[in-house]
């Protein structure tokens, strides 16, 4: 029983810490921009449920920490409906109530009566804060650790695999994939994973000679300590750079920020590509993950990082580094999901504001209600699908490593 509780805490605690931190930053993005525009804010909460500790600042905003650490929220004054985008009648009613309670002109401090561009910036500030957080975390990691480049040199070709049939040989150095120059093993792996059943063109350097090869990745079931059982596209290569192949360089703050920006762009591009392949029927969605998968990954990363060294100090440092990188990736994901044009998300609000800017009136209440219900159904369906994936494979991460 004690062992079970220990394992549960190992997975749950890192997940809650990472999730609460990221969501708090997301909500802080909304809060700071709203405060800059003079919006009246009732509450900023870290966690949900009953208040553990709280205080009210000079602006009348209640700051509190609640007992359920599953994120947080910011509540603007006048937020009555679930969509936070009242229609024309709702705005008129809210205006009358505010004027009756606080006098003429008080409505100008309320979110819903701010200009559209200000409301749009406040809404977009949440996802923007997530991307900024990822940028800061990754920049700090690159500054602290530098950049270690592991070139894609072929160390092993699996007999009978697509790579073997294509003519790959041990010692080949992969230079381009589908015309794109690659510098690291992970670059090759990422392209292969997103190309199941599609021919992939390679250019390799074989003892000074340029050789062109074509291999078609096939899905195979893999079991990983963190990923669990997943289907991943492979061609049957293992990258094993020689000691002389590795390159390391320190990065100044500008170089680190550039590298971090590049990494964020790569993650977003891969995400959009993968989702596009799902809608095109080329992927099963097996790599989509929900809360269970993220919790499993957080715990697995913590466990493996701690076991990497017998020195307690080095183990703690390793855990911190890997959780920071993990938090950056999750923050990118949360920022991206919130920008989807689904009414219950920030992207849906931006969609409504776009309509309002063109039509010069808010979206009708009936349309908002339908959109809200459809949005909830879409999110619920996506969550159920992702949770089903989590339960099936019992994990999350597919480490790129040197596999292709």
Could you list the active site residues? 27
Cα gap 142→384, rounded to integer Å: 36
Give the list of residues 6+ apart from residue 109 with CB closer than 8 angstroms, or none. 38, 39, 40, 77
Spatial CB neighbours of 299, under 8 Å, sequence gap ≥ 6? 7, 10, 11, 12, 14, 15
Residue 43: how many CB atoms within 10 A of its CB? 18
Name every residue whose Cβ is closer than 8 Å to that of residue 323 and which is 6 or more positions away in sequence: 14, 18, 298, 301, 302, 305
Q: 199-233 b/e with 16+ CB inside 10 Å = b?
A: ebebbbeeeeeeeebebebebeeeebebbbebbbb
CB 287 within 8 A of CB 277: no
Q: Across-strand partners of 212?
A: 203
CB-CB neighbours of 313 under 10 Å: 8
CB of 29 closer than 8 Å to CB of 125: yes
Which ranges in 37-104 belong to alpha helices (H)?
88-102
Residues paired with residue 200 on neighbouring β-strands, in sequence order: 215
Report the candidate in 231, 241, 192, 194 with the shortest Cα–Cα distance to residue 215: 192
Q: Which two tokens stand for residue 12?
A: 């749950």
User: In 259-291, which positions are buried (b, 16+ CB within 10 angstroms) versus exposed (e)?
Assistant: bbeebbeebeeeeeebeebeeeeebeebbbbbe
Helix (H, G, I), strand (E, B) or coil at 127: helix
SS (H, E, C) 261-324: HHHHHHHHHHHHHHHHHHHCCCCCCCCCCCHHHHHHHHHHHHHHHHHCCCCHHHHHHHHHHHHH
Instruction: Say if residues 300 and 226 touch (Cβ distance below 8 Å).
Output: yes
């Amino acid at each position: 029983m004690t062992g079970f509780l220990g394992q549960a805490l190992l997975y749950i605690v890192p997940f809650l810490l990472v999730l609460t931190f990221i969501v708090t930053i997301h909500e802080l993005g909304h809060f700071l921009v709203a405060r800059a525009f003079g919006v009246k804010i009732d509450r900023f909460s870290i966690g949900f449920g009953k208040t553990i500790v709280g205080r009210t600042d000079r602006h009348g905003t209640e700051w509190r920490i609640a007992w359920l650490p599953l994120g947080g929220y910011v509540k603007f004054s006048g937020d009555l409906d679930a969509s936070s985008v009242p229609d024309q009648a709702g705005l008129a009613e809210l205006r009358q109530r505010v004027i009756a309670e606080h006098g003429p002109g008080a409505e100008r401090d309320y979110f819903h009566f701010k200009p559209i561009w200000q409301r749009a910036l406040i809404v977009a500030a949440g996802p923007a804060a997530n991307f900024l957080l990822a940028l800061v975390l990754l920049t700090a990691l690159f500054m602290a650790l530098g950049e270690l480049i592991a070139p894609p040199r072929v160390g092993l070709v699996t007999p009978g695999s697509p790579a073997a049939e294509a003519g790959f040989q041990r010692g080949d150095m992969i230079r381009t994939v589908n015309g794109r120059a690659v510098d690291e093993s992970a670059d090759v792996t990422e392209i292969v994973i997103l190309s199941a059943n599609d021919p992939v063109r390679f250019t390799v350097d074989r003892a000074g000679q340029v050789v062109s090869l074509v291999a078609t990745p096939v899905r195979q079931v893999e079991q990983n300590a963190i990923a669990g059982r997943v289907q991943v596209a492979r061609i049957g290569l293992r990258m094993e750079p020689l000691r002389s192949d590795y390159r390391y360089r320190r990065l100044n703050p500008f170089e680190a920020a550039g590298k971090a920006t590049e990494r964020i762009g790569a993650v977003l591009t891969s995400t959009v590509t993968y989702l596009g392949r799902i809608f095109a029927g080329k992927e099963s969605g097996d790599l989509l993950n929900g809360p269970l998968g993220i919790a499993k990954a957080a715990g697995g990363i913590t466990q493996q990082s701690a076991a990497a060294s017998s020195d307690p100090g080095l183990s703690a440092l390793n855990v911190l580094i890997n959780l920071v990188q993990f938090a950056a990736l999750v923050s990118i994901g949360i920022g991206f999901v919130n920008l989807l044009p689904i009414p219950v998300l920030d992207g849906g609000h931006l969609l409504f504001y776009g309509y309002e800017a063109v039509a010069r009136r808010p979206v009708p209440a009936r349309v908002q209600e339908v959109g809200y219900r459809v949005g909830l159904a879409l999110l619920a369906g996506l969550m159920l699908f992702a949770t089903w994936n989590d339960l099936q494979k019992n994990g999350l991460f597919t480490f790129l490593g040197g596999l292709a």
